[in-house]
Amino acid sequence: NTLDDLAPGFDNETPECQRSYPLDHFNKKLVDMLEVLEHRRELTGDHGNALAYRRAMSALKAYPRDIRSVAEARKIKAIGPKIAKLEYLSTGKIKEVESTQTDEFTKVMDTLTNIYGVGPVTATHWYKDLGYRTLEDVRKHEDLTEMQQIGLKYYDDLRQIVAIEEAKAVAAVVEKEARSIKPGALFTLVGGFRRGKQWGHDVDVVLSHEEDRDVTGFLDQLIHNLCEKGDQLGKCAYSQDSVLTAQRTVRSTNTPGFIKDILVSKTPSPDTDDEDYKGTQDASEVQQCLCVVKAPGKSTHRRMDIIIAPREQYATTVLGWSGSRQYERSLRAYARQFCHMKLADHGLFHAKSRKQVPTASEQDVFEALGLRYIKPELRNM
Ligand code: TTP
Ligand code: MN
Ligand code: MN
Ligand code: MN
């Protein structure tokens, strides 16, 4: 066993979703640099290369010691020759990473894509075709979507990271209100905080109820209450624009309550009452309210994702929103390729018959896929 061999305990044949990805790992410095390159490839639309970087990063996050040589790196299947021969292993640096950090295109693209609702495609168009360089340029843009307008409005606040203590306080506001509507409500703080992160960019929660299937009514009521109650408790008059309709097709803006603005709220497809459709893979009843909130006594607005699922879709929704995004992808790919199943937020299904496999817990999902259970703290892929 030389320094050029694979570390003991690392097997190239282990499926990605069966590896452990702790928050702290041995190759952080290298992974951080590769992330810069991956991000840059995504920005320039080079998705194939971005994927190659993500694969390499995933393997490195699970690798049980720091990589010491090019030969060792080459033995890891997910690391191709291009990545292995990066000068990092000899110099500890990557030139492109350093030049990227001072590059105008990257800087402007970061500024623009940090606006909620602005993706790489829009940002590139604004940069290249319209010559936008600053937020001021964007503010003058005539047809910003509603989402982008809200993103601009809270730009500075939403860039501030959230500590777990505040995330828990924000989540508790929603949990309490949810339980006041439905005493038996199930509630899980998901996203990065569930994976053991101490800091995050937003607060993600999933709700359900053991008996009551009416998730639409539940979410409507919850949103309504959270828009009304906040720093100033009590009744408030909504402007006609901000009335929350049953379908929530109208966004609320500038409410006095805990929820300040709603970015997205999705309702299930209309035919969920169809009996043939229930329990099949087309029957998502998962509801989401992606919003901006301000906790009582706090001055910074935060992004929050409130997700509600009926009980039989709860375990897979919790799994789907616990992340990491990359871990979810690997699990879903495994289900598809090796189990002929479809894993989605709203359930685990046989690909052919489209029938749902009952899953009461995350453990049930792993078991149905024939996999060893990986706890959330080890899903930081
Ligand atoms: P994020 O909140 O974007 O990421 P995170 O909580 O892991 O990290 P942070 O917020 O600190 O940056 O997403 C949480 C999980 O939710 C993510 O693993 C993927 C999942 N998810 C979405 O974000 N959006 C979706 O539309 C679906 C279906 C899932
Ligand atoms: Mn999150
Ligand atoms: Mn994020
Ligand atoms: Mn989120």
Bridge partners (DSSP) listed for residue 259: 293
Q: State the average pLDDT for the chain.
A: 89
Averaged over 360-369, what is the pLDDT?
98
Domains (ranges, CATH) in the chain?
Answer: 16-99 (1.10.150.110), 104-149 (1.10.150.20), 162-312 (3.30.460.10), 318-378 (3.30.210.10)
How confident is the model at residue 68, as a pLDDT?
85
202 lines ligand 1 (CB under 6 A): yes
Report yes or no: 258 and 294 within 8 Å, Cβ to Cβ: yes
Q: How far is CA 272 from CA 207, 247, 275, 286, 317, in A?
A: 19, 14, 8, 11, 17
**Report for 125-139, 221-235, 263-277: range of highest mean pLDDT:** 125-139
How confident is the model at residue 124, as a pLDDT?
95
Averaged over 48-71, what is the pLDDT?
94
Give kind and range of the element (H or E) at residue 126: helix 120-128
Q: Which ligand has the minimum distance to the alpha carbon of residue 195?
A: 1
Judge whether 11 is annotated as a binding position.
Answer: no
Q: Which atom of ligand 1 is nearest to the CA of 195?
A: 7
Give the residue whose CA is nearest to atom 12 of ligand 1.
201
Give the residue whose CA is nearest to atom 10 of ligand 1.
201
User: Does 93 or 64 have the greater pLDDT score?
Assistant: 64
154 lines ligand 1 (CB under 6 A): no
How confident is the model at residue 173, as a pLDDT?
95
Q: Exposed e or buried b for every residue in 25-51, given b needs 16+ CB within 10 A?
A: bbbeebbebbebbbbbbbbeeeeebbe
Ligand 3 (ion): which residues have CB within 5 A? Answer: 201
Give the residue whose CA is nearest to atom 22 of ligand 1.
321
How confident is the model at residue 126, as a pLDDT?
98
Q: Which two tokens stand for residue 104?
A: 């105008």
- Is the pLDDT reported for residue 280 higher than 90? no
User: Does 123 or 1 have the greater pLDDT score?
Assistant: 123
Q: How far is CA 145 from CA 22, 100, 138, 193, 288, in A?
A: 38, 30, 12, 30, 19
Give distance in angstroms: CA of 223 to centre of ligand 1: 20
Averaged over 211-220, what is the pLDDT?
87
- Is the pLDDT reported for residue 59 higher than 90? yes
Q: Which two tokens stand for residue 377?
A: 């703290």
376 lines ligand 1 (CB under 6 A): no
- H-type helices in 304-361, by residue range? 311-322, 325-339
330 lines ligand 1 (CB under 6 A): no
**Report for 69-83, 252-266, 268-282: range of highest mean pLDDT:** 69-83
204, 318, 362, best to mutate for ligand 1 pocket (most atoms within 8 Å of CB) = 204
Cis peptide before 99 (omega within 30 of 0): no
Cα 167 to Cα 199: distance, rounded to the nearest angstrom: 9
User: Does 108 or 275 have the greater pLDDT score?
Assistant: 108
How confident is the model at residue 271, as a pLDDT?
56
Q: pLDDT tens-digit profile of 144-185? A: 999 999 999 999 999 999 999 999 999 999 999 999 999 999
Averaged over 190-211, what is the pLDDT?
97
| Residue 278 pLDDT grade (very low, low, confident, very high; cuts 50, 70, 90) | confident
Q: Which atom of ligand 1 is nearest to the CA of 191?
A: 6
320 lines ligand 1 (CB under 6 A): yes
- Is the pLDDT reported for residue 270 higher than 70? no
Q: Which ligand has the minimum distance to the alpha carbon of residue 326?
A: 1
For residue 24, the 8-state DSSP code is S
Cα 218 to Cα 207: distance, rounded to the nearest angstrom: 10
Averaged over 42-59, what is the pLDDT?
94
Q: Does the CA dihedral 34-39-43-45 come out positive or negative?
A: positive
Q: pLDDT tens-digit profile of 314-336? A: 999 999 999 999 999 999 999 99
Give distance in angstroms: CA of 145 to centre of ligand 2: 23
159 lines ligand 1 (CB under 6 A): no
How confident is the model at residue 230, as a pLDDT?
64
Judge whether 204 is annotated as a binding position.
Answer: yes
Judge whether 220 is annotated as a binding position.
Answer: no
Q: List, as one string, the DSSP characters of 153-174.
A: HTHHHHHS-EEHHHHHHHHHHH
How confident is the model at residue 190, as a pLDDT?
98
